[in-house]
Amino acid sequence: MAQSPHPLPADLCGRAFFVAEHPEIPRSRTRASDLWTPVRGVRLPADMHDLVDRCRAHALTLPLGAVFSDATAGRLRMLPLPRRLTDDTLHVTVPHGTRAPRRRDRVHGHSRALEPADCAWLFGIPVTSPSRTYLDLASTLDLRELVAVGDRLLSARDPLAGIADLRTIVAHHSGARGAKIARLALELLTDRAESPKESELRILLIEAGYADLDVNVEVFDDAGTFVARVDLALTRLRIAIEYEGDHHRDRAQWQRDLARRRRLEAVGWTYITVTQTDLEHPVPLLADLAAAVSRASGQ
């Protein structure tokens, strides 16, 4: 039976450490199976592989003033990012004049103007502020994706930034890559959105000409009794438009959805459901919505 590795010093347990800073530890010990190498010269316990662990390990090697940024900052803040930005690459921004890291360890370095207000700490990790993260992501995301990020930052339920913060940083970095789409998205953000797909759907419909959408509308019957709260609505026309994700496939949720739809239709509302397929191929959805608008308008 293989013998367990000799215990590490207590102050090194459960964290990343620089091998060179601990010459008292034999080289054979730092190569034991209970440790792994996230970046050259650094070791982590073998069971620590999540994003926070990896960032803490890489932070030991970063130059002064460097911060995790872009998609990495977005993931650390649990912002809604498209799947293409959720790989193992770590994005790091260094101040102008500092050489950006270029490693084989899946690190993507950026050199940018950084001010103290652009930087923060999260989980003990240097990371761009929420508003700076919004600006940096604007160079990578399309309009719908960026609005989903901005809506999350402003969310009334758990705000991470204010609209003034976002306006200030976009104005201050007006020449930055992505600043144009960042400015455009600012005019479309809301603090009332409750899911990324709802945000994407809202922008799809606005781009299609439905600029008078209301967000998360409470519907009442003629007696003032609450009926339902709908994602998006053309309120004047009594048309509700809702995104349905995979959780709606649950039997109990499906039954609740049917009852809710029945109640809305009973008080004169048209109910239009939207799926991921509709977001990817919206022509049939837009045709159905146009038909509903025509009927509701008496045309």
Q: Mind listing the domains of the chain with CATH numbers?
A: 10-49 (no CATH), 57-186 (no CATH), 196-296 (3.40.960.10)
Determine the Cα–Cα distance for residues 63 and 14; give it in Å rounded to an integer.
24
pLDDT at 262: 93
Q: What average pLDDT values come out for the chain (299 residues) when binned by 10 residues?
A: 71 88 88 90 91 94 94 97 92 90 81 94 97 97 97 97 97 93 97 95 97 94 93 96 75 83 94 94 97 88
pLDDT at 104: 66
pTM flag (> 0.75): yes
pLDDT at 1: 43
CA distances from 52 to 107, 145, 160 (A): 14, 24, 19
pLDDT at 247: 54
Residue-wise burial string across 254-291, b where 16 or more C-beta atoms lie within 10 A, e elsewhere: eeebeebbebbeeeebbbbebeeebeeebeebbebbee
